[in-house]
């Protein structure tokens, strides 16, 4: 903080998407890591499983993201020892917000989507800005391809307005397999037009049986 | 903020089976303030040729007037309508005339040519043509439109399906863009008829 040079941040690109359903959550991100017009690696995971029912996908500056994930994993371990249980997804959401806001004036350059199951076993998605402002939603997209993906998710999933009274559930009506197929579709489309998205798609599906990871090939150009 | 984003706009054109559709939003704003909600950005050149002009509204209107003027002179001299390809070259030439003080517009041209072959193309503000076989987009909502069209478009759609697709793509895109929206204008052109439609949308 005291000796901040000109070189502080870089954008390593990448796109993160999460969709919450009645009893599942899908968190997905591509595995490309780039700087400018160069690809550093085609096989870099952006998704971190922070607790048993909680996965965080982040794009932005991978240096900051690595530090952030490490920080959160350490805090989750402390929580386990103090409370003798794993952290819930909404608790992790609040912790992530606080962690981001703690660095309000020298932020983590990270755009996060947190997905998982809440204490009732319902799917939940939390979406963030770089300084910790967050919202619970039914679906979200973050990163370089978010502008391409978000209108398609709106079109297919159409969440109820947060202003409606009484408050409605934000979870999407799709089944788990339909949601996974939708994620594959939107990434295939984003990969066509966004140079920072591609190579491989990593999908984490969280349901009451546990979590499973799946990989799908995307375009490599 | 860029001068291209001063008024806000969204224009898209798609090709179907022996037909095409061109659509735009209807908002005219001054930065974030909405001034009009019935603004036309898609203009008719002749029965089977249309141009959508995104970008600075005043330049869009001026450019349209010059294009109509040039097309009328062409009609008088040649006693026929212009082919879309010819018209695209005309637009490109008019824009490049102002290479160092450009019109701040990004045109989208769509038409039916000889044998009712659909033609769509877009260009930048100094006339670099970009022809496409599927769809073209321009305006402040272009990134959203790319995403929506890339997901929703498929080749060789019939007119009815093309109309639905372009309307859905336009609506979902402008709803994620602050500077465009307030309903849409969709034009569907087949060899035999032209369907004009104003669609309602979110008013924010």
pLDDT digits (tens, 9 = 90+) for B8-66: 999 999 999 999 999 999 999 999 999 999 999 999 999 999 999 999 999 999 999 99
Q: Is residue B66 part of a domain?
A: yes
Closest Cα of chain B to A132: distance in Å? Answer: 22
Residue carrying the six token digits 């010059």? B66
As for the ipTM of the complex, it is: 0.93
Q: What is the pLDDT of residues A95-135, one digit of tens each?
A: 999 999 999 999 999 999 999 999 999 999 999 999 999 99
Among B143, B152, B172, the residue with its CB nearest the CB of A154 is B172
Contacts of A147 in chain B (CB under 8 A): 143-144, 147, 176
Q: Is residue B143 part of a domain?
A: yes
Q: What is the chain B residue with the closest CA to A145?
A: B147
Q: Among B181, B167, B203, which Cα is nearest to B41's?
A: B181
SS3 (DSSP) at A148: helix
Residue A1, pLDDT score: 47
- Which domain covers residue A135, as residue numbers? 15-217
d(CA B186, CA B199): 7
Q: Is residue B156 part of a domain?
A: yes
Domain tally, chain A: 1
Q: What is the pLDDT of residues A153-201, one digit of tens each?
A: 999 998 777 778 887 778 888 999 999 999 999 999 999 999 999 999 9
Q: Is residue B102 part of a domain?
A: yes
Q: Is residue B202 part of a domain?
A: no
Q: Is residue A197 part of a domain?
A: yes
d(CA A27, CA A56): 8
Q: Is residue A158 part of a domain?
A: yes
Closest Cα of chain B to A50: distance in Å? Answer: 31
Which secondary-structure segment (H or E) carries A105?
A: none
CATH number at residue B153: 3.60.20.10
The length of chain B, given as a count of residues: 204
Q: Is residue B203 part of a domain?
A: no
Contacts of A155 in chain B (CB under 8 A): 148, 152, 168, 171-172
Residue carrying the six token digits 């450019």? B63
Q: Is residue A9 part of a domain?
A: no
Evaluate if residue B197 carries a pLDDT over 70.
Answer: yes
Cα separation values, A141 from A93, A114, A116, A182, B73, Å: 16, 11, 15, 13, 51
Please spell the DSSP secondary structure of B135-199, one letter per residue.
Answer: EEEEETTHHHHHHHHHHH--SS--HHHHHHHHHHHHHHHHTT-TTS-SSEEEEEE-SS-EEEEEE
d(CA B133, CA A69): 44
Q: Is residue A1 part of a domain?
A: no
Question: Are B147 and A154 a contacting pair at CB < 8 A?
Answer: no
CATH number at residue A183: 3.60.20.10
Contacts of A190 in chain B (CB under 8 A): 147, 150
Closest Cα of chain A to B170: distance in Å? Answer: 10
d(CA A192, CA B148): 12
Closest Cα of chain A to B153: distance in Å? Answer: 10
A127, A113 contact by CB (below 8 A): yes
Long-range contacts, A97-101 (Cβ 8 Å, 24+) = A97/A128, A97/A132, A97/A133, A97/A134, A98/A132, A99/A68, A99/A71, A99/A72, A99/A75, A99/A132, A100/A68, A100/A128, A100/A130, A100/A131, A100/A132, A101/A131, A101/A132
Ranges of H-type helices in chain A = 62-83, 89-102, 146-157, 176-193
Contacts of A150 in chain B (CB under 8 A): 144, 147, 176
Contacts of B172 in chain A (CB under 8 A): 151-152, 154-155
Q: Is residue A8 part of a domain?
A: no
- Which domain covers residue B142, as residue numbers? 1-197
Domain tally, chain B: 1
Q: Is residue B103 part of a domain?
A: yes
What's the maximum distance between 2 C-alpha atoms anywhere in chain B?
Answer: 47
Contacts of B173 in chain A (CB under 8 A): 151
Mean pLDDT for the stretch of residues B109-134 = 97
Among B144, B171, B175, the residue with its CB nearest the CB of A147 is B144
SS3 (DSSP) at A46: coil
Count of CB atoms within 10 A of residue B84's CB?
Answer: 26
A181, A187 contact by CB (below 8 A): no
Closest Cα of chain B to A163: distance in Å? Answer: 14
């Amino acid at each position: 903080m005291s000796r901040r040079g000109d070189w502080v941040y870089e954008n390593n690109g990448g796109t993160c998407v999460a969709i919450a359903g009645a009893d599942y959550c899908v968190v997905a991100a591509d595995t490309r890591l780039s700087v400018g017009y160069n690809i550093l690696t085609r096989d870099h995971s952006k998704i971190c499983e922070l607790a048993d029912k909680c996965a965080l996908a982040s794009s932005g500056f991978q240096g900051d993201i690595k530090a952030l994930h490490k920080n959160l994993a350490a805090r989750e371990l402390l929580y386990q020892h103090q409370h003798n249980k794993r952290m819930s997804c909404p608790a992790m959401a609040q912790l992530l917000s606080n962690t981001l806001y703690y660095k309000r004036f020298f932020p983590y350059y990270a755009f996060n989507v947190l997905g998982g199951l809440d204490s009732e076993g319902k799917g939940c998605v939390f979406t963030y800005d770089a300084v910790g402002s967050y919202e619970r939603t039914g679906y979200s997209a973050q990163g370089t391809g978010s502008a391409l993906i978000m209108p398609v998710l709106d079109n297919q999933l159409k969440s109820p307005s947060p202003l409606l009274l009484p408050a409605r559930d934000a979870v999407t009506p799709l089944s788990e397999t339909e949601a996974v197929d939708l994620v594959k579709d939107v990434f295939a489309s984003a990969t066509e037009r966004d140079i920072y998205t591609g190579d491989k798609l990593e999908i984490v599906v969280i349901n009451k049986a546990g979590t499973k990871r799946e990989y799908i090939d995307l375009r490599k150009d | 903020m860029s001068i291209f984003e001063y008024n806000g706009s969204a224009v898209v054109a798609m090709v179907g089976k022996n037909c095409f559709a061109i659509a735009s939003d209807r908002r005219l704003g001054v930065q974030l303030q909405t001034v009009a909600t019935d603004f036309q950005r898609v203009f008719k050149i002749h029965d089977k040729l249309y141009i959508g002009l995104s970008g600075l509204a005043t330049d869009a209107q001026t450019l349209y007037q010059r294009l109509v003027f040039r097309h009328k002179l062409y009609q008088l001299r040649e006693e026929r309508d212009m082919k879309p390809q010819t018209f695209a070259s005309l637009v490109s030439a008019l824009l490049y005339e102002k290479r160092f003080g450009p019109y701040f517009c990004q045109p989208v041209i769509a038409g039916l040519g000889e044998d009712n072959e659909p033609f769509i193309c877009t260009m930048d503000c100094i006339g670099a043509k970009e022809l496409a076989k599927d769809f073209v987009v321009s305006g402040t909502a272009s990134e959203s439109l790319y995403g929506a069209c890339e997901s929703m478009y498929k080749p060789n759609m019939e007119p009815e399906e093309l109309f639905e697709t372009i309307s859905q793509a336009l609506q979902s895109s402008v709803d994620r863009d602050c500077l465009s929206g307030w309903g849409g204008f969709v034009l569907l052109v087949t060899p035999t008829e032209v369907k004009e439609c104003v669609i309602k949308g979110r008013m924010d």
